Amino acid sequence: MKKEQTRREFLKKSIGATALLGFPTIIPSSVLGQNGNVAPSNRVTISVVGCGSRSQSCWAYKNNPKSEIVAVCDPFIDRQIERAAEWDVADTYTDFREVLAREDIDGVHVVTPDHWHVPISLATARAGKDVYCEKPLGVSIEQDLVAREIVERYGRVFQYGTQQRSSDACRLGLELVLNGHIGEVQEVFVWAPGGGWGGDGTAQPVPEGFDYDLWLGPAPEAPYSPDRVSYKGAWFIYDYAIGFIAGWGAHPLDILQWWADREGLGIPVEYKTTGRIPTDGLYDTAINWHMDARYPNGTKLTFIDTRWARKEDAKIPEGMKGAVAEIGNGTFFVGKNGWVSISRGAFRASSEELRRKAKDPGPVRLPISRNHMGNFVDCIISREEPISGLETGIKSDIISQLGDIGIRTGETVGWDPVKETVVGSSDAMAMMQRKMRPPWTL
């Protein structure tokens, strides 16, 4: 592991030495934290683990005066170098365990393929650091449930990467629903982009500067091919993910769960899901799906992919069709007195009168965040619950997992919310876990 004098150590030594020598000391206000600046010694230190395209969002830490990126990590050495140069970061790593061994890091942003999300998040918590984990959460229900240790056992701050919670439009639209302006919610529709197919799995030599064995980690042994380790491979190969039913569905399902948590509904207890899984090519996650689910109180949930939703004969509410045509994902609430549609950065309502009520929706208000990573930094400092905490991420991810299990077994899947287990099918229950390649474990 690379070792470097930390900013805290530098300031302590340099300021202390100057005072001992009796020289007059002139320290810039940026060091002392004056004039609105935050002293480097007080900034939250972040390491970014995973330097692919999604890591570009971590510019938010560079632009936040309360935080700084002190290390980057990726099995691709060229990605490490590119991000380090872009962010002016001195320390680069291939193995995330070297990052976690550093005592000067406060938080870790996990931007890896999905199969690494929970294992690295758990290791980060055990190392005494806080976690920002990109969505989706785990690649199995078992991983989702074990992830609770991050908060319950280790007391770490956990921010889930469902950034729509930090959107004013999503918050305002949901407050309309929670304050009863559409009446009792009778049904909810969720839609998200379908998956991809294809991919060439022909074995090729592992390129120099890439730790392929570490990239695979807990996933099964497999021959290297460029398509396997591409972003599409990370999204659409079942060994590493369950596809966009979770990978993109996490965003609109999170808005659904924000509502369900406030209403005390938990998650649906019955799932009938059909879909299509490609059999040609490398990619083998669901590319189409149609889920009909039921909450304990009888409220219906329909979760479909965008292609399905855009069919001329799609059985969706008339008001939803315009939102589906314009935006690739969203959450549509149907009540006795109207509807509200919430999508990325926008919300619609069944009438202009209803929409205007968002300015003053009523007494039920949701917490406000306008910068998802900034909220994470603030919560590292305050130790408060972030806008998108772990428990809600567990619930919404399990919905995706149960849908995928239903597609693969062809069965209606039941869920026991007390025991938190699949019921009614031994085949479906067996799919709650995934084997991990030694020596990796949860």
Q: Indicate if the alpha-carbon torsion angle 176, 269, 238, 407 is positive or negative.
A: negative
Statement: residue 389 has pLDDT above 80: yes
What is residue 34's predicted lDDT score, i.e. its pLDDT? 53
What is residue 24's predicted lDDT score, i.e. its pLDDT? 38
Three-state DSSP class for residue 236 = helix
The number of residues making up the chain comes to: 442
Strands in 67-73's sheet, in edge-to-edge order, are 91-93, 67-73, 44-49, 107-110, 130-133, 158-160
- Which of 265, 242, 255, 259 is CA-nearest to residue 144? 242
- Angle at which helices 250-263 and 168-178 pack, to 10 degrees? 40
Q: Name residue 69's beta-bridge partners.
A: 46
pLDDT tens column, 202-229: 999 999 999 999 999 999 999 999 999 9
What is the number of other CB atoms lying within 10 angstroms of the CB of residue 352? 7
pLDDT tens column, 13-53: 333 333 333 333 344 444 445 555 666 668 999 999 999 99
Q: Name residue 326's beta-bridge partners.
A: none
Q: What is the DSSP letter of 389?
A: -
How far apart (Å, rounded) are the C-alpha atoms in residues 191 and 326?
12
What is residue 5's predicted lDDT score, i.e. its pLDDT? 40
Statement: residue 167 has pLDDT above 80: yes
DSSP for 175-233, please give it.
HHHHTTTT-SEEEEEEEE-----B------PPPTTB-HHHHHTTSPP----TTTTSHHH
Q: Name residue 160's beta-bridge partners.
A: 133
What are the tokens at 335?
Answer: 């009540």
Statement: residue 8 has pLDDT above 70: no
What is residue 344's predicted lDDT score, i.e. its pLDDT? 84
Q: Which pTM was predicted?
A: 0.91
Residue appearing with tokens 């390129």: 207
Residue percentage of the chain with pLDDT more than 70: 91
- Which of 138, 172, 141, 342 is CA-nearest to residue 256? 342
How far apart (Å, rounded) are the C-alpha atoms in residues 373 and 363?
27
Statement: residue 284 has pLDDT above 90: yes
What are the tokens at 293?
Answer: 């689910």
CA distances 386 to 226, 249, 361, Å, are: 37, 21, 23
What is residue 354's predicted lDDT score, i.e. its pLDDT? 97
Element at 294 (helix H, strand E)? strand 288-294
What is the number of other CB atoms lying within 10 angstroms of the CB of residue 264? 8
What is residue 16's predicted lDDT score, i.e. its pLDDT? 35
How far apart (Å, rounded) are the C-alpha atoms in residues 325 and 202?
37
pLDDT tens column, 223-278: 999 999 999 999 999 999 999 999 999 999 999 999 999 999 999 999 999 999 99
Range of lowest pLDDT (4-8, 87-91, 160-164, 292-296)? 4-8
How far apart (Å, rounded) are the C-alpha atoms in residues 306 and 329?
7
- pLDDT category, 311, cuts 50, 70, 90? very high
397-408 burial, b if ≥16 CB within 10 A, otherwise e?
A: bbbbbbbbbbbb
How far apart (Å, rounded) are the C-alpha atoms in residues 218 and 240?
9
How far apart (Å, rounded) are the C-alpha atoms in residues 419 and 327?
37
Three-state DSSP class for residue 32 = helix
What are the tokens at 147?
Answer: 């992830």
Biggest CA–CA distance in the chain, Å, is 83
Q: In degrees, to the nearest 5, what angle opens at C-alpha 234 toward C-alphas 232 and 240?
A: 140
What is the Cα Rg of the chain in Å? 23
How far apart (Å, rounded) are the C-alpha atoms in residues 218 and 434?
10
pLDDT tens column, 403-426: 999 999 999 999 999 999 999 999
Distance of CA 423 to the CA centre of its chain: 27
